[in-house]
């Protein structure tokens, strides 16, 4: 996979990682991890696939995890 830019750290200087147990996303790594794959899914929608093979989803309570097996509605993001 070709890289088309550099990874940026968050405000705390850390990079996002995916927890192997529950798929939660945490900005705790001091080194860049494997990137997320961006999949375009129709007009103004995209899905992010994490290194665990699951899609990043947002829940109504604000929780964001890489736990969707398919790009369901909660795993589609508008841009």
Q: What is the pLDDT of residues 38-47, one digit of tens each?
A: 999 989 999 9
Strand-pair partners of 30: none
* CATH 1.20.140.10 for the 15-78 domain, yes or no: no
Question: What is residue 7's three-state secondary structure?
Answer: coil
| Phi, psi (rounded to 5 degrees) for 49 | -100, 130
| Phi, psi (rounded to 5 degrees) for 73 | -50, -40
Domain ranges for the chain: 15-78
Residue 54: pLDDT over 60: yes
User: How does pLDDT run across 23-36, given as a tens digit for each residue?
Assistant: 988 888 888 877 78
Residue 4: pLDDT over 70: no
| pLDDT band of 3, cuts 50, 70, 90 | very low
């Amino acid at each position: 996979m070709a890289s088309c830019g550099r990874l940026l750290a968050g405000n705390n200087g850390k990079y996002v990682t995916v927890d192997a147990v529950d798929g939660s996303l945490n900005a705790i790594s001091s080194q860049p991890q494997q990137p997320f794959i961006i999949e375009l899914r129709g007009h103004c929608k995209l899905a992010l696939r994490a290194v665990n093979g699951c899609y990043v989803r947002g829940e109504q309570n604000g929780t964001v995890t890489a736990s969707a097996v398919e790009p369901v509605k909660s795993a589609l993001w508008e841009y």
